[in-house]
Each structure stands twice: as structure tokens, then as C-alpha cells.
Chain A
Amino acid sequence: MSAVSVEILKKIYNNGVSSQSSVTALENFRLEIKRGEFTCIVGPSGCGKTTLLNLIGGLDKNFEGVISVNGVSPQRSSAVGYMFQSPRLMPWLNVGQNVGLVVDKEPNKDKKIKELLSEMELDKFINAYPKSLSGGMRRRAALARAFITEPDLLLLDEPFLSLDVPVANRLRKMLLNLCKRRSATAVFVTHDLREAIYLGDRLVFMSGTPGRVVLDLLVDLPSQRLPEDPDVERFRHNLLEQHPRLLAGLIEDTESVGNT
């Protein structure tokens, strides 16, 4: 059984009263994700990547089709962690409270929070409010929050966008380590091809609006790769050569990963 099964016939946003103002975000979108797989969804801005994550995460129920997470509907699936584009920490809760917010009564809750924050090198900031943290520290706190529930499925929506390269790479390494250790399935949305090749076991490319799968391929590179590995650059180069028309204009091929 797949960890995530997606079959979206149509997802429409009604932006006004007339049918002309409605936008079809996703159409005939099919995707099966295996347990433990790190899947990167790559596509241009506005192609429906965030919409897809919201549907998988059960934040939006208004669509035609069927989605199941671990065999149940996204709304019923409890073991899901989410990392949004912005950290979305509650400003009135300190770091420890923010991480603990998503865990209800659990015997070792405090111990787990401390351990996870220590792993994120945030243990000294457990009582600090988000406004006193740097951008990278806030993202680390959000990453800790995503992992505190020990999720089977992790949804990440361009979580390292607008961070400087060294900080983003450090967070990417942390994410990979956590995913590997906890055997979590991850769906990672990005428009950065290098980031996708570095992180993903599998790349799924989306078309422009309405979003659908236009290319689905496995990343056959050693799992212990580094962003600056020549293999990553070679893979990217070959991909761009093989699919020039498909990828042209779709991907903002940024230089963020690997140039540390």
C-alpha cells in the first residue's frame, strides 16, 4: 500500500461570483508515493504545488477526486507533520511551547521537546520568544514542531526559501538526517532544481496552471550525496539537456544549493 495516493480530477478556486473568475489549479493529477520515499515536487510559481500539499494535508477538502494517506482520508490521518513556507510560530508562545503545541497529553512530552530542540541546536532558546530568534532559528523551531509528533508523512512547502545558502544547506542536512532516522515519507515542494536533486529520492515535475504531472523520475544517485557533489550537477545538467522544452521556463533554476 502506498503511503500517499493522490488522484485529483479537478481542483478549482472560485475567486468571484462569475464562472469566468474561477481558476483551475490542478487537473488530472495522479501520484503514488511509497513509504519512506522523499519526493520533491518541482514546478513553476503558481502551478498548484502549495494547493497539492494543502489537499494532501487535509487543509482543503474542496476538490474532485480521492486522496488517501496511509489508507485513510487526509482529515482522518493523524501522523502528518507540516512545514509551511513561513515558520508560522505563535509569537506569544516560546520555542518550547511552540513545539509542544502540536502534541497533546503525552507522558514524555517535555523530554521529547528538549531532545528535539537539542538536535536542532535550539536547546538554549527553549524559553525564547520567536521575535528574538533569527530566520534560520525560526525555521529550525518549525522543523522541530513538524517532527515532534513523529509523523509518518512530512509535508514541506518550500521551507528554506529566502534563507541564505549556508543556513539553508544546514537545515537541509538536518531534514535529511531526521527523515532517514525516523523513516518518514516526505513530500517536499520546491521550484529549485538543485535543491530537489540534492534532497529527493524522486522528482515529480508539474506543468503550469492547471498543474499536472509532466515528468516523474527517480534520482539514481548515492543516498549520502552532498549538495556540492559533481553527481548532483551532472544529474541536473543531463536533465536539462534531455528535457529542454519541458523544463524551460518551468523552473527557476536558482544557484542556492551547493554554492556554499
Chain B
Amino acid sequence: MTVTTKIKNRYSLKVTSLILFLCVWQFASIWIDVDVLPSPARVASSIHEHLFAGDLLSSVAITLARVGVSFFIAMAFGVAVGVLMGRNRNWDAALDGLLILSLNLPALVVIILCYLWFGLGEFAAVLAVSINKFPIVVVNMREGAKAVDMDLLQVTQAFKVSPYRTFFKVYLPQLYPYLLASARSGLALVWKIVLVVELLGRSDGVGFKLGIYFQFFDITSILAYSFAFIFVVMIIELLVIAPLDRRLMEWR
């Protein structure tokens, strides 16, 4: 079987499973009350309605901006601290207890505390999301830094390669798999936490809208907003993360 055939087969499997899921959903919505489980067609029509007559687009854009800012803050600080802990035993020992504590701190507690300490503002919202994601990035990057092959670094030492070249050509490429894993899991986690943050303390965004539709028991709109945002995250995965993964991991 050629590589192209294998790829085609994998894509057809993906599409088939999605179609199967929609069929099961459609049939389930016939059996169950349509107000409790609206059909896929009804959700699609709701997305269309919110998109052109409502404020779905602006809500998604606001949530996406929060996701983006929180994601980059958590990644930047998480990578720096994770690499520091992976490379230096003293820092690892000093920060390990705090890391375990922050990993076990419930997301909801962090969100509530941030809102109580810093007020119901944008800063508190972004900070709460970043704090929730930060320890997971640290754990990933610490393992990455520990797994760096010292024999390869010794090559640059032997040839007196500059620290700049050593970092970008030898050190960083060894961290790429861990960076990509952090980015993938991070994106999925961050947007879920952003919705909770918006639900609890913001007056805009997808989370805020979900809160309103929850009060009206409007399940169709809840699903419409959710699927619209899932679609956006899938587009980011498809257009940004997957190509980046292919490019950086081409040698494998």
C-alpha cells in the first residue's frame, strides 16, 4: 500500500467517523425531546442565525483574544521555568513543591481568587487562565529539558560553537516535541478555562453568552456557540499547529 493511499484511507476514516457521529446524533434527537437534544440541522441553522443576526462572531473574537493572550503568557513563563527546573537541580528542588501545589489547585479556586483580589476585570481573567495552564507547561518542559542529549551539546562545546547557535540549532530542536505537546494540550485546556472565567466574571465572550442561554434553557444556542468555537480551534490546529508540527518534525 502506497503512502498516498494510506493517507487517503486515514482521511476517509476521519470523515466516516464524523458522519457516523452526526447520524447517531440526528437519530437520537428524533427519539429524545428536540428541546433537550436539538438535531444537528437545527444547531447548524442556529449557528447561521447567530452569525448573521446575532453577535456570535464578536463573542468568538473576544474569547479567542483572551485564549491567545493567556496561552502565550502561560507558554512563555512555563517554558522558561520548566527549562530552568530541568537544567538546574537546585531550582528543581526549590520549585517542585510549589509546582505540585499549583497542579492540584482547582481551576475554579484560582479564578475566584483572581476575581476577588484583582476585581472583575480583564487582567484578573487573563491571569486566572494563565495560572491554570502554567504548571502543566512547566511539567512538560521540565521533562523536555531533562531529556536533552548532553552528547550532542558536547559536540558544540568541542567545536566552540557560539551559545546562540547552540541554543537555536541544538538545544531548542530537542525541545520541539515537548513544546508542540504543550501547545496542543494548552490550546484545548485554555479555551475551556476561558469559558468558565467569562461565565463567572465577564460581560462578553462565548462563556458569558453560554451563561445567558443556560438561564433561558436554550440548548440549541448553547450547542451553536460551543460548536462555533470548537470549529475555530480546529481551524487553528489545522492551519497553524499541524503544519508547524510537520515542518519541525520533518526529520522524523
Contact = CB atoms under 8 A, between A and B. Distances in A.
Contacts of A57: 158
A82 B151 CA distance: 13
A235 interface: no
Contacts of B158: 57-59, 80, 82, 84, 155
Interface in B82-104: none
Contact of B251 (A82, A92, A155): A92
A58 B154 CA distance: 10
Interface in B141-192: 151-152, 154-162, 165, 169-170, 173, 176
Contacts of B252: 91
A218 interface: no
B149 to A, nearest CB: 9
A35 to B, nearest CB: 20
A92 B247 CA distance: 11
B155 A88 contact: yes
Interface in A12-60: 57-59
Interface residues of A, number: 23
| Most B Cβ at <10 Å: residue of A57, A82, A92 | A92
A101 B173 contact: no
B159 A90 contact: no
Chain B interface bracket (under 10, 10 to 19, 20 to 34, 35 or more):
10 to 19
Given A90-B170, A92-B251, A149 B159 contact: yes
Contacts of B176: 92
A221 interface: no
Contact of A101 (B151, B157, B169, B251): B169
Contacts of B155: 82, 84, 88, 90, 101-102
A90 B159 CA distance: 14
A152 to B, nearest CB: 13
Contacts of B157: 58-59
Contacts of A81: 159
The 5 A-B residue pairs with the shortest CB-CB distance, nearest first, are A102-B159, A82-B158, A92-B251, A92-B173, A129-B251
